[in-house]
Amino acid sequence: MLRTGISGVVLVLAIATLGLSYSPTASATDTPAIWAPHAIIVDLESLPKTYSCDDLWYRFRAVLLDIGAQSMTIMPYHCDTRSPSVELQFSIPKAIQGAEARYSQLQATNDTIVLAPGRPAPLDATDCELVRQIKDELFPALPIQVAGFQLNCGGSQTKQFRVVLTALLPESKDAKATAAAQNPSHSDSMQAHSAPASPKEH
């Protein structure tokens, strides 16, 4: 179950496809963009294992950095249960056009992100169900295209996952480095709660 606050609409410039031999295509033309804020609570349900608040903080932070987020606050609660929640506040690029382009804060490029064991760390194969719920609950609330996925999370089979996303990312390496540097440290941005800090609509 997902509760959303502020969200933006972004122009999707390209759609990638997923396959076992998937290769990302070249980046599209630079697009004027602004940093659009989002406030979201992700309610995770019936996970196959428990996660500490630290576990959730590091995993969500890694995913958010991969989709180009900055100014992040990550607040897990109901940790060490099978149904924790994570409250997120962050900004990601939003495309602007026409006369609005004069308010551009950065140049962004539609790019491909792959989530898989180790991509990014600290995700591993045992996080398959967590990634499935992030795909189902977080990404639909964002201007991100799920271009393809393979999720083998159940039964006795070897757990593997691969999710391919298309998102608008800061164009330059300097901008990405700046975004990462602007994100607060673990001690500054994580607070464990037994309930959300403020109610949000479903």
Low-confidence ranges of the chain (pLDDT < 70): 1-28, 156-157, 172-202
Q: What is the pLDDT at residue 42?
A: 98
Q: What is the pLDDT of residues 43-88, one digit of tens each?
A: 999 999 999 999 999 999 999 999 999 999 999 999 999 999 999 9
Cis amide leading into 76 (omega within 30): no
DSSP classification of residue 41: E
Q: Domain-by-domain residue ranges, the chain?
A: 2-183
CA distances 138 to 20, 26, 37, 87, 109, Å, are 25, 26, 14, 11, 21
